Structure 1
Amino acid sequence: MGHLITLATCSLNQWALDFQGNLDRILSSIAIAKERGATLRVGPELEIPGYGCLDHFLEGDTVLHSWEVLAKILSSEETMGIVCDIGMPVVHKNVIYNCRVVVLDRKILLIRPKMWLANDGNYREHRYFTPWVKHRQWEDHYLPRIIQAVTKQTKVPFGDAVISTLDTCIGVELCEELFTPASPHILMGLDGVEIFTNSSGSHHELRKLYTRVELIKEATLKLGGIYLYANQQGCDGDRLYYDGSAMIAVNGRIVAQGSQFSLNDVEVVTATVDIEDVRAHRAKSSRSMQAASADRYHRIEVSFALTSGKFDHVRDEDMMGLIGTNILEVRYHSPEEEIALGPACWLWDYLRRSRTQGYFIPLSGGIDSCATAVIVYSMCRLVSEAARRGDTQVIADARRISGETEDSAYVPSDSREFANRIFHTCYMGTENSSTETRRRAKQLSEAIGSYHIDLNMDSVVTAVRSLFSFVTGVRPQFQSQGGSKAENLALQNIQARLRMVLAYLFAQLLPWVRGKSGGLLVLGSANVDESLRGYLTKYDCSSADINPIGGISKTDLKRFIAYAQTTFDMPVLSSFLSAVPTAELEPITATYVQSDEVDMGMTYDELSVFGRLRKVEKCGPYSTFTKLIHEWGSFLSPIQIADKVKLFFFEHARNRHKMTTLTPAYHAESYSPDDNRFDLRPFLYPSRFPWQFRKIDEIASVLPDRSQQGLGIDKTKTE
């Protein structure tokens, strides 16, 4: 047996500006780590104030309260005998840095500022923080008096340094630094650092975990070493859901992994590793030659050993982390499972922290509102499972939300019963609605247990239409009744907008109707593709309080419904999968039934492709066309592809103003159209793109048509 070290990393459900709650969760994680015999604990990025403070990081109060929380952590008995890596903002020489504060026995060993900041996609760290650009350099940082009173230190090292204990060497790497090409762990490892800590605020995105795991494994595969990855978990107060999955890797192999989705506020992952395995892994000539010439890091020497030489506190499950014994098989959820779990956990955090009494959604009988409702039901399943396990925090939150008194013995152990208490659904039919959608909505509500209302709103629509006629002297008609396109669109939109008005009325008063107090949050159900295309009415049911599917494609939603049909035992969902997507805002005739994909001029699968090209691959109209010539050229002609590209960009451009009013949505897709957060683009475009479209037309007119070559495809079927 070599030199064993028990190490701890964690996922914490921190909340922006919840300093008391964040403190309690940090102390709890340290206590659990010590109980398991750990001598090193690492927590998520900016865990003291919460990662999602945004412009609050610019306020002196946020920094002040972070120091106050750190003082309480240092004053407690929890940090005695364990090295703790804790995250908070620090002002050094009037510059705000995103920092890790490494402490031991009521002393600060090092303040390590972040050197590479996340500044794309969902992140704007450069707006709040400045990167530390003095690599492998450090300075004195003079501590505030509140900390001096606890640590008896006047100043501490601040900068890019490492910590040398009696038996090993520890280096710090922060979130984005792992994702950079020249990550700090490389040079630190060559200079003898054996344990790397990484504190992250990494959000969930469908199919993203694999990339994160591979980077963590790669960090020590060639280099050798132990990597502790900590992450925020839960809704930090905004659109993102941080998906935990704290991990420990040794020499390129994952030896411990936490849950990716959980209702737990605190989750600690521990493993006992042998530091000699790192040294044996590094005994390679080429690595030694590079290490011998590596730049030197300043070492902060600490008279403390992570190895104890005792095995009293080593648990059997932690021994599984030892190289040479069982190696953990990393758990990846399928995209369908991710949709069932991620948005459900986000909804639970939002519900309990907003201190409202539940959710309300208009059920249309279509797949989008169906998927949203099933995600809420998935949330109820997670709550009931946690309650059956005896999770006191979940039970307490469920009692408060459902209107129970403090001394109530209620336990939400049945998911359908709990859904009936907190989830309210409503079918808002008109003369244009079909019996099929009404039936599907009712059957779905029965399957999930929601408190359901079925109503006709024709009288409200007629009243508004009559008011317009009274004021103007003319009565608008649908196109099928002889009206113009303008009349037809206006009559559709008024139905959609009135549903939004009624949704908020019922959301505010349904608890009162049921003898309870408070109100409900209205859920939106516009998917990412419809939002991108602008295929929605501004201020209709797409306008809500939050939207759990606003970052999920229609294609993935259909796969989720197919998964839920079996997993949740809901046969009714098959009827949603086979139904033609329709808004049901125009009269149904013997020869006409409104269809979403016909109205849009493209399929949902095509919309997903456009979305990824526009955002992820950063393509404008012309480069989108050139890429699709290769991808779609075997079944569409160049002219057909050109027409689809031009139609998409035209519709996207002329509907961009709608993105400024999109309901805050759960972020799940890399091409989300979320305005001024994730997708920074103007909302007034030259929507016909005369220069770009002309170039597309010029190229399309001379390219050969490959769509008919040897395939025997009827060209008209693709138009």
Structure 2
Amino acid sequence: MGPACWMWDYLRRSGQGGFFLPLSGGVDSASVAALVFSMCRLVCSSVQDGDAEVLQDVRRIVGDPDYLPREPRDLCNRVLVTCYMGTENSSRETRALAKDLANQVGSYHTTIAIDAAVAAIIGIFSALTGRIPQFRSLGGGSREDLALQNVQARLRMVLAYLLAQLILWVRERPGGLLVLSTGNVDEGLRGYLTKYDCSSGDINPIGGISKVDLKRFLRYACNTFKLSALNDILKMIPTAELTPLRNGQTVQSDEADMGMTYEELSTYGRLRKQLGCGPYSMFCKLVHQWKNQFAPCQVAEKVKHFFRSYSINRHKMTVITPSYHAESYSPDDNRFDHRPFLYNPLWIWQFTAIDAQVKLMEVQRDTKSTSSSAPASWKPDSKFLPAREEPRDTKETHPAPGDKLGSMSSLCGDLGIYVSDGSWNSPCSLTFPSFPELGGNVAKFGQHLATKCSGGTALGTSDVNSRVWLL
């Protein structure tokens, strides 16, 4: 109900004539379509209850002073335009699923092929360079493959805005449409999206929701809204469908491309945002949480892979579409999760600390004859952490991971705050002094950090934001 009410409020105040949604036949765009349908149900219910203001808004939006919505599907046909933008890499299954869902929610639906536009862009590049990029499956390299995928994705955004501006003109109605974005939390966190593709739009009702939670919502919507197409969509393997098919079947998989499952990615996202974990503290938690599934060395590689991907792609979050914040794990850089967008993806100190703890756990395992797992009471051992330079203006020692940091963990990622001297590979110091005037207060510590670093140099807030990383 929350995202549905949010969309209606935005629509009625925007002065636009409805929404445009690129409908791919996958979980994300299907979730947005179901939310618009939910919005139409709520609006129709209010009209039937005699809400004159809502009826007035409806008539203004659809451009008909006498219009009276009979049922949600009828209203949805007036305020939602969906379009399946296929290529030669799109499967028949997703095309059919998009059409079935559009019929069930009642949207004004079209299907088009954008291969001619893709070929035109590649043709311009070839005319300029004399080179023709190829997909990896056809003999090309990884750079060529990604570039060809990105061309398809970005053209969908360009076409979405063209249709949003002119489709009501085609239908002989005034105004334009708001473009609905379909990027979820996990894609933004991992960076598994093309900058300026269908993750870009005017508003995004699912930008603060993970794929795992979206699937839960679709199961609810399937039963509550009687949208059977959602059940078929849930059975499909998530895929971007941007690489060539094999015998007419999709071979690309989101989870294979990402190198992690959506369940794992959802776990990483919650630990990173809700618990303030960096690489090392996340490893320390997951090595216990996943002790029956993965060996410590496997957990270490998974955590490292996530943080490499996160840091390399964080810049994409600076242009993310405004989203409805349904949960506290959103990575929205502009409004909800202010972080640096240029990281050192090597995470030298943190990854070295992880490797040291893995070696320690392996030693503990090898010395036990009756158990192959780490003891339940295991804690990170500071003896195995890489050495740090002492703070220049204090004799205090650095806190070892596992020390009692109390409520500071949510602010400082269980370990503290890492300040660079300006070079990626030359850490300056770990600024975690116990300033007596702060009394251990987390809020005061944050305020103090905004004006001081370990050397006592005055810093502006923007400077701190660009130089501080969670461990």
Deviations 1:604-623 (A, max 9, x none): 11111111111111111100
User: 1:522 Cα deviation (Å)?
Assistant: 0.2
After TM superposition, give the deviation of residue 592 of structure 1 in Å: 6.8
Structure 2 counterpart of 1:536, one-letter code:
L
The separation in 1 between residues aligned to 2:140 and 2:294, in whole angstroms, is 35
Deviations 1:311-370 (A, max 9, x none): xxxxxxxxxxxxxxxxxxxxxxxxxxxxxx110000000000001000001011100000
Question: Which runs of no fewer than 5 residues in structure 1 stay unpaired?
Answer: 1-340, 712-719
1:600 matched to 2:246? The reply is no
**Equivalent residue number for residue 488 of structure 1:** 145
* CA drift at 1:700: 1.4
Does structure 1 conserve the Cα–Cα contact (< 8 Å) formed by 2:241 and 2:250?
no
Alpha-carbon deviation of 1:701? Answer: 2.7
| CA drift at 1:631 | 0.4
Distance in 2 (CA, whole Å) between partners of 1:531 and 1:472 is 32
Are 2:163 and 1:468 aligned? no
Q: CA separation in 2, counterparts of 1:549 and 1:349?
A: 16
Residue 516 of structure 1 aligns to which amino acid in structure 2?
R
Q: Give distance in 2, aligned partners of 1:497 and 1:521.
A: 18
Tell me what 2:244 maps to.
Answer: 587
Deviation of 1:710 (Å): 9.3
1:230-256 Cα offsets, whole Å, 9 max, x none, are: xxxxxxxxxxxxxxxxxxxxxxxxxxx
Q: Deviations over 1:208-237 (max 9, x none)?
A: xxxxxxxxxxxxxxxxxxxxxxxxxxxxxx
Q: TM-score, normalised by structure 1?
A: 0.50
User: Which position in structure 2 is the counterpart of 1:623?
Assistant: 281
Instruction: Specify the alignment match of 2:21 in structure 1.
Output: 361
Q: Using the alignment, how far apart are the partners of 1:665 and 1:585 within structure 2?
A: 25
> Cα offset for 1:709?
7.2
TM superposition score normalised by structure 2:
0.76
Q: What amino acid maps onto 1:677 in structure 2?
A: R
Separation in 1, partners of 2:163, 2:246: 32
Aligned residues: 367
Are positions 1:498 and 2:158 aligned together? no
| Residue 317 of structure 2: aligned partner | 659
Q: Equivalent residue for 1:342? A: 2
Unaligned runs of 5+ in 2: 374-471
SS at match of 1:377: helix
Structure in which a larger fraction of residues adopt helix: 2
User: Greater strand percent: which structure?
Assistant: 1
Distance 1:362 1:709 in 2: 54
Measure, in 2, the Cα distance between the counterparts of 1:503 and 1:592. 24
Contact 1:545 / 1:663 at 8 angstroms: preserved in 2?
yes
What's the counterpart of residue 43 of structure 2? 383
For 2:303 and 2:85, locate their aligned partners in 1 and report how far apart those are by CA, in whole Å. Answer: 35
1:610 alignment counterpart = 268
Of the two, which has the highest radius of gyration? 1
Answering whether residue 355 of structure 2 is matched by residue 697 of structure 1, we say yes
Distance 2:360 2:183 in 1: 39
**Aligned partner of 1:459 among 103, 109, 116:** 116
Aligned identity (percent) is 59
Higher relative CO (Cα under 8 Å, sequence separation at least 6) belongs to: 2
The one-letter amino acid of 1:518's match is G
User: Which of 134, 137, 157 is residue 477 of structure 1 equivalent to?
Assistant: 134
Spell out, residue by residue over 1:6-34, the C-alpha distance to the aligned partner (whole angstroms, 9 max, x if none): xxxxxxxxxxxxxxxxxxxxxxxxxxxxx
**What residue in structure 1 maps to residue 215 of structure 2?**
558
In 2: Cα distance, 1:611 partner to 1:413 partner: 42
- Over 3 Å counting, the alpha-carbon distance change for 1:700 and 1:480 in structure 2 is same
- Give distance in 2, aligned partners of 1:508 and 1:630: 52
SS at match of 2:319: coil
Letter in 2 for 1:404: D
Equivalent position of 1:36 in the other structure = none
CA root-mean-square deviation: 1.6
Residue 208 of structure 1 corresponds to none
Q: Which residue of 2 aligns with 1:535?
A: 192
Asked if structure 2 preserves the Cα contact closer than 8 Å seen for 1:360 and 1:425, the reply is yes
**1:415 corresponding residue in structure 2:** 72
3-state SS of the aligned residue for 1:454? Answer: strand
**Given the alignment of the two structures, is residue 427 of structure 1 paired with residue 84 of structure 2, yes or no?**
yes
Off by >3 Å, runs of 4+ in structure 1: 708-711
Partner deviation per Cα, 1:438-482 (whole Å, 9 max, x = no partner)? 000000000000000100010010111111111110100000000
Is contact 2:4-2:38 (8 Å) kept? yes
Structure 1 position 677, deviation (Å): 2.0
**How far apart in 2 are the matches of 1:623 and 1:342?**
33
Q: What letter is aligned with 1:500?
A: M
